[in-house]
Copies of this chain bind each other. A is one copy, B any other.
């Protein structure tokens, strides 16, 4: 993935969590996902499509998710609370929406959130679409952002043409 498409997610997650949860995030270097790890207990996933197709997911264990959902809602929320999944889905939605607004020259739209709950589940995509894992360290614990993104063929071709023309 081109760094131009990673930075919007990194900026958006920092901004979303600072604004909505009062939480500073120390974002580690993105790693290419290999195998199934990290596993998670609750994941908020948003798909996107248009000039690029893919998804962004936030992966939490229950303990960290409960603390963050509580900070977001301003009241104690654990994984059994009615509003728990909505809070995690809304955070994923805000991260995706914030990133989308920063993409230059890419017209993409985002889907509705899916929230997955289940101890130690794993996400995967297709082998042809590599994913990045970005560890996010906070005072409430570490969680992960997982991004997979593939430019549509026409956009990828026009970018290659533009690079060729400028050489």
Binding site for B on A (CB under 8 A): 36, 39, 43, 45-50, 53-55, 57, 85-86, 89-90, 108-127, 129, 148, 150
Count this chain's copies in the assembly: 2
Also in contact, A111 and B36, with CB within 8 A (given A89-B126, A122-B117): no
A116 near B110 with CB under 8 A, answer: no
**Of B112, B119, B124, the contact of A115 (CB 8 Å cutoff):** B124
Complex Cα distance A117/B50, Å? 27
Contacts of A126 in B (CB 8 A): 86, 89-90, 112-113
Contacts of A86 in B (CB 8 A): 126-127
B111 near A116 with CB under 8 A, answer: no
